[in-house]
């Protein structure tokens, strides 16, 4: 997010056109995983290139700069990862709902959007260990009169928004089953629904609310629960069964975690002074 943006069971939609349109480099992708060999040990669709699917709308975790360049925590890590693997990095930027279908269709080698490795997703793709932490919170209008309790928000009179197909939406359903859930293709729209009083609250990552508030000061606040709704961790997703790539990612992430590289990248991009504890490496 995030980042995540923690996620997110994807709708099964056709995405080949979106992937082609969203490519951020000129390198072409292959149609299938290449056979494992000494020259392609990580089963990349294009040997020599790490092709990554992303949705670059989750500032500051992953986004496009004013000049159209990918930036944010995930991008910083991917640059370091590709350099360590001696590979060229290619980022395919497309809508969130097309990412897992695109990975299954072998349009890219991995997805970097802070996905949570839920059991349902693990049926479709494989996951690395965690690379990003985030807390899910309830964003509400600053002048909200609803008491700060789960029970008060779990009411049929409340409308709660979330990112479409995300674990944010799943969590909203779990915590507030009586409330009306509205989902949107991006977090900004979900938050704008609340800021313009077309909805009552939104389930989002805390850093996404903080970023929204920079451009919309005084509109929304984090509901004053005793703790976040949930603390989750995001992982990289790779094509199902690509154990070679998963193994490399896990080893690299543990080294980056131990060296402080993860913490340094997180603090510099997320604008925070602390890095939440990560799961211990084996």
pLDDT interval class at 232 (50, 70, 90): confident
- Can you tell me the mean pLDDT for 54-79? 96
Question: Between 145 and 39, whose confidence is greater?
Answer: 145
CB 152 within 8 A of CB 127: no
Residue 194 has pLDDT above 90, yes or no: yes
Count the Cβ atoms, other than its own, within 10 Å of residue 227: 8
- Can you tell me the mean pLDDT for 233-248? 97
Q: Which domains are present in the chain?
A: 16-133+232-270 (3.40.190.10), 135-230 (3.40.190.10)
C-alpha dihedral sign at 13, 62, 172, 145: negative
Distance, CA of 130 to CA of 272 (rounded, Å) = 19
pTM of the model: 0.68
Pairing between strand 49-54 and 110-115?
A: parallel
Count the Cβ atoms, other than its own, within 10 Å of residue 220: 22
- Can you tell me the mean pLDDT for 83-98? 96
Question: Between 7 and 271, whose confidence is greater?
Answer: 271
Output the pLDDT for position 48.
Answer: 97
pLDDT interval class at 32 (50, 70, 90): very low
Mean pLDDT of the chain: 87
Output the pLDDT for position 36.
Answer: 57
Percent of the chain topping pLDDT 70: 87
CB 92 within 8 A of CB 50: no
């Amino acid at each position: 997010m995030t980042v995540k943006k923690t996620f997110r069971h994807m709708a099964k939609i056709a995405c080949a056109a979106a992937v082609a349109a969203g490519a951020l480099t000129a390198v072409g992708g292959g149609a299938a995983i290449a056979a494992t060999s000494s020259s392609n040990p990580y089963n990349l669709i294009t040997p020599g290139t790490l092709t990554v699917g992303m949705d670059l709308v989750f500032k500051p975790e992953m986004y496009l700069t004013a000049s159209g360049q990918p930036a944010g925590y995930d991008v910083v890590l991917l640059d370091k990862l590709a350099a360590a693997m001696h590979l060229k990095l290619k980022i395919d930027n497309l809508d969130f709902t097309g990412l897992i279908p695109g990975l299954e269709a072998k349009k890219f080698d991995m997805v970097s959007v802070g996905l949570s490795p839920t059991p349902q997703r693990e049926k479709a793709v494989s996951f690395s260990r965690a690379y990003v932490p985030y807390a899910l919170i309830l964003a509400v209008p600053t002048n909200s009169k609803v008491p700060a309790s789960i029970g008060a928000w779990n009411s049929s009179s409340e409308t709660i928004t979330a990112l479409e197909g995300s674990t944010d939406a799943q969590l909203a359903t779990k915590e507030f089953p009586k409330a009306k859930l509205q989902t949107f293709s991006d977090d900004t729209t979900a938050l704008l629904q609340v800021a313009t009083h077309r909805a009552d609250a939104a389930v989002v990552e805390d850093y996404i609310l903080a970023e929204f508030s920079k451009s919309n000061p005084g509109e929304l606040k984090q509901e004053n629960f005793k703790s976040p709704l949930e603390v989750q961790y995001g992982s990289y997703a790779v094509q199902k069964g690509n154990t070679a790539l998963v193994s490399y990612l896990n080893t690299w992430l543990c080294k980056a975690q131990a060296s402080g590289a993860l913490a340094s990248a997180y603090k510099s991009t997320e604008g925070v002074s602390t890095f939440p504890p990560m799961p211990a490496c084996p």
